[in-house]
Amino acid sequence: MINESDKIFFNAGDLVKVKHFDNSPVMYIIEKVSKTIGQKYGETETIFLGMKCRWFDNENRLQEAVFSTKDLIHI
């Protein structure tokens, strides 16, 4: 069971890394990404997909991807 105190929240502008890789680049969070799905009878459901992050690769090219909050850590 996850307690409220165990949850980690991310906000736009936070600096993060992927926690599974030692050489992960430093990234910054752009926004929360959700998807709205239409269901029968006009009802809709919003599903949280993750956090959109940006970083510069080794050749100074801007990169962007969406990561699960379970894979990110604050730095």
Strand boundaries in the chain, DSSP class E: 15-18, 27-38, 44-56, 62-67, 72-74
For residue 7, the model assigns a pLDDT of 63
Bridge partners (DSSP) of residue 15 are 28
For residue 36, the model assigns a pLDDT of 85
For residue 42, the model assigns a pLDDT of 74
pTM of the model: 0.79
Taking 70 as the pLDDT cut, the residues of the chain under it are 1-8, 40
For residue 6, the model assigns a pLDDT of 53
> Each residue of 40-57: pLDDT tens digit?
677 888 889 999 999 999
**Strands ordered across the beta sheet of 15-18:** 62-67, 44-56, 27-38, 15-18, 72-74
Residue 42 has φ and ψ, to the nearest 5°, of: 80, 5
